[in-house]
Amino acid sequence: MVRSTTFEHYSARIEKVVAFMAQRLDQPLTLAQLAEAGHFSPYHFHRVYRGLMGETIANTQRRLRLHRAAHELLHGHDGIAAIARRAGYASVAAFTRAFATAYEQPPAAFRKRRAAPPALARADFDPTLESLMYSAQISTLAPHRAVALPHRGDYNGIGAQFERLYGWAGALGLLAAQPPRAFGIYYDSPADTPAERLRSDACLAVPPQTAPGEGMRWIEIAGGRHAVVIHTGPYSELQRAYDWLFCQWLPASGEEAGDAPVYEEYLNDSRSLPPEQWQTSICLPLK
């Protein structure tokens, strides 16, 4: 009963977001505006949305605009170029390709048909994805103070920043005994944010008297209640754990994501172990 009620609560909020988008298809909406419409934390809204809807926010907007375009083709009098611009496409050719993919007919042929447009289906999504591979534990975590080196761009490139951090720490003798704990903080969803605009921080928890190196800064990673999922395997497969956490566990848990970014802790040394043994703790703040 709790699972059903919680899913209904999340679904109702997502429906408000979709309605908000549908009423403003010609406006450049921000992630913060959409999160506010559904009363979600802006830090986690994109992941919750993708988990429940099976598609990104941008895909929903594209789907809604194409559906509106189909109605305009059938019932309106504007030319295809005007409809394409209204749907957000810079050229008739791009609009034609997208429309034909969605409706299996180019716009001109569809207009001649004068039939009611079918509803566009969402992208295929399996809500049971990896359901047997993961479990989440709610834990009260201690806060961490760490030296952070910002990374901008594709998250796959953050490894270079960790190499810089480890080189800096090694030169200071901070790796000789117990290697410092390593964290990655990820502020954006790669499904909804262009790769060049993704923001993240590579972090090492070094002694408090350590002076940060060039381009580095001290950062506080908040403690408190977190949902923690352990992923074992290559970092390239972490998205599966995120999908499970935000699609299955969070809506069914009765919990709300907190107003802080999700972060990862890397539990063993990826430089000395094969990828199938790498362990990553995904820590989602909870209210």
Cα separation, 27 vs 39, in Å, equals 20
- Tokens 């509803």 locate to 119
Distance, in Å, from the CA atom of 1 to the CA atom of 269, rounded to the nearest integer, reads 42
Q: What are phi and psi of 46, to 5 degrees?
A: -60, -35
Q: What is the pLDDT of residue 3?
A: 52
- The residue among 6, 30, 7 whose CA lies nearest residue 17 is 30
Residues whose CB falls within 8 Å of the CB of residue 121, separated by 6 or more in sequence, listed in order: none
Which are the contacts of 152, defined by CB distance < 8 A and separation ≥ 6? Answer: 196, 197, 198, 199, 200
User: Could you tell me which residues come within 8 angstroms of residue 208 by beta carbon, excluding any fewer than 6 positions away?
Assistant: 145
DSSP 245: I
Cα 175 from Cα 177, distance rounded (Å): 6
122: confidence class by pLDDT, cuts 50, 70, 90: low
Contact 205, 180 (CB under 8 A): yes
Q: Which residues lie below 8 Å from residue 109, measured CB to CB, with a gap of 6+?
A: none
pLDDT of 177 > 90? The answer is no
Phi, psi dihedrals of residue 56, rounded to the nearest 5°: -80, 165
pLDDT tier, 76 (very low <50, low <70, confident <90, very high otherwise): confident
Looking at the chain, the whole-number percentage of residues with pLDDT higher than 70 is 91
Residue 254: strand, helix, or coil:
coil
pLDDT in tens, 129-167: 444 579 999 999 999 999 999 999 988 889 889 988 988
Q: What is the pLDDT of residue 282?
A: 98
Task: Give the 3-state DSSP-derived string for 160-216, with helices as H, strands as E and coil as C.
Answer: HHHHHHHHHHHHCCCCCCCCCEEEEEECCCCCCCCHHHCEEEEEEECCCCCCCCCCC
Range with the largest mean pLDDT of 99-113, 174-188, 209-223: 209-223
Q: Which residue has the tokens 């921080």?
A: 201
> In Å, how far are 28, 47, 87, 92, 141 from 25, measured between CA atoms?
8, 21, 8, 19, 41
Q: What's the average model confidence in pLDDT over 196-212?
A: 94
Average pLDDT of the chain, as a whole number: 87
Helices and strands counted in the chain (H then E): 10, 8
Give the model's confidence band at 5: pLDDT under 50 very low, under 70 low, under 90 confident, else very high: low
Give me the mean pLDDT over the 100-116 stretch.
80
pLDDT for res 113: 67
More confident residue, 278 or 121: 278
Quick one: pLDDT band at residue 190, thresholds 50, 70, 90? confident
pLDDT above 80 (res 229): yes
Is the pLDDT assigned to residue 6 strictly greater than 80?
A: no
Are 161 and 213 spatial neighbours (Cβ–Cβ below 8 Å)?
A: no
Phi, psi (rounded to 5 degrees) for 137: -120, 130
